[in-house]
A and B are shown apart, each in its own frame.
Chain A
């Protein structure tokens, strides 16, 4: 018996008939060969979020990003005119990495008037132009105007900086994002500059972690201990049901109805949450963010807990009803490893009390993520035994079907166009 209305087909999965209802395989998550296809078919073609404009506070602000899945290092910089640009982080002289500190594999950030290669001193402007060559007269027929840094396609939406490694992207960023995502324009991302940033290496295929956060069916079981006994027992009895799912092109959304811990009895809430007025769902005292754009809570769920917007391929924006947001990035490093970045954003705390509620929220996020993350290694290991190769997904796992289908579609389309075989 459903607690929330479902589409007229009766289930969310059947509302999107292209997804089917059959058991699925995870062959796409345990194969080095498939991973090589994904790199070319997806990560070198899709728009990838690499950060936010607040990370580039003024002209000359820059950060580097190591993108293992596309075998690239890029430098993202705000130029003199205020434009955000991206370049391959490679000196045009002898190929040295241009911007790095101490450890060539580590990312860095800072403010510069120009970029100077550590090796022979070639200098590049913030617009990528090659401005100075050491002992230029020693070179043969070197036209500096032809040897600027190699640009990477870079566009900004709602303050999120995206790059595209294609020679020529097939869609603009806005076209790629589509109406479900662009309807978030107007959400005050740019004002929410109080940031907690986390990173870990996960020993699992990147899609398995996307899957983990694309369903909340796991929450009453995996996270049972995080709740007080009375609430945990009720959660396991009822299970989890999301009030709203939506699929738009390659992107996905799940909204939850949310549980308002602070409206429950004292025996259902942890003492530290009562003291700090914060927790998993965020600060109990909601800041006034003003009018929300239509893209927030598009299912008009009431009560409403959160929207998890999953942008293909590897980026999630999670907007909480309590006036804060999270981002997740899943950066593949091999077929069975990836780097996971989690960022927590709030309006800057105006008081100690607000700051403490933020701390409780951020710490709780980390405790949950540690539980989620370690389960994935166990899943990867057992999938790789190939002892079982067919897996049932329920209606609350509809978005998992969609991710793996879109990945397969992009790989098939690319293989057909480039290698003549599906």
Chain B
């Protein structure tokens, strides 16, 4: 039983950890993950994002099969992780200390 569509079997190893339906879960997972692991996820996902978006785009946004919704969530995690990897070079926003900014409402999927 896989979480992602068959075409994205190469990303299945990341699915259990990163196919997360809400921003608070994605952000918390990012903060709790080491930079080497974030980098591995980013490096494996980035070359596949364009194909993943094309794949999701073939499905009506309000009638996506579960595996496609999971792929959407994986892309959202890639977006979240892109900041530590491309910008901050650490999991959290520098100098953000104990600051938080809780997302309590977001569109689905």
Contacts and interface: CB of A to CB of B under 8 A. Distances in A.
B44 interface: no
A278 to B, nearest CB: 8
Interface stretch (A190-198, A211-219, A295-303): A190-198
User: Which residue, A226, A349, A352, A373, has most C-beta atoms of chain B within 10 A?
Assistant: A352
Contacts of A270: 82, 86-87
A57 interface: no
Interface residues of B, number: 37
Contacts, number: 115
A310 B63 CA distance: 39
B105 A195 contact: yes
Identify whether the interface residues of A are mostly helix, strand, loop, or mixed.
Answer: helix
Given A196-B103, A199-B102, A374-B99, 13 more contacts: A197-B104, A198-B102, A200-B99, A200-B102, A349-B107, A353-B57, A355-B72, A356-B76, A367-B83, A370-B101, A371-B94, A374-B95, A377-B99
B38 interface: no
B49 interface: yes
Nearest to A358: B107
Interface of A: 194-200, 225-226, 270-272, 275-276, 342, 348-353, 355-356, 358-360, 362-363, 366-367, 369-371, 373-375, 377
B32 to A, nearest CB: 17
Interface in B6-39: 23
Nearest to B42: A272
B59 interface: yes
Given A196-B105, A200-B102, A370-B96, A363 B83 contact: yes
A194 B61 CA distance: 13
A238 B6 CA distance: 50
A304 B105 CA distance: 29
A367 B87 contact: yes
Interface in B59-78: 59, 61, 64, 68, 72, 75-76, 78
Nearest to B98: A374
Contacts of B59: 352
B93 A367 contact: yes
Contact of A363 (B68, B79, B109): B79
Contacts of B83: 363, 367
Contact of B76 (A350, A359, A370): A359
Contact of B82 (A197, A198, A271, A356): A271
User: Which residue, A342, A356, A358, has most C-beta atoms of chain B within 10 A?
Assistant: A356
A275 B50 contact: yes
A272 B99 contact: no
Contacts of A358: 107
A309 B93 CA distance: 27
A235 to B, nearest CB: 15
Contacts of A200: 99-102
User: Which residue, A271, A353, A367, A373, has most C-beta atoms of chain B within 10 A?
Assistant: A367
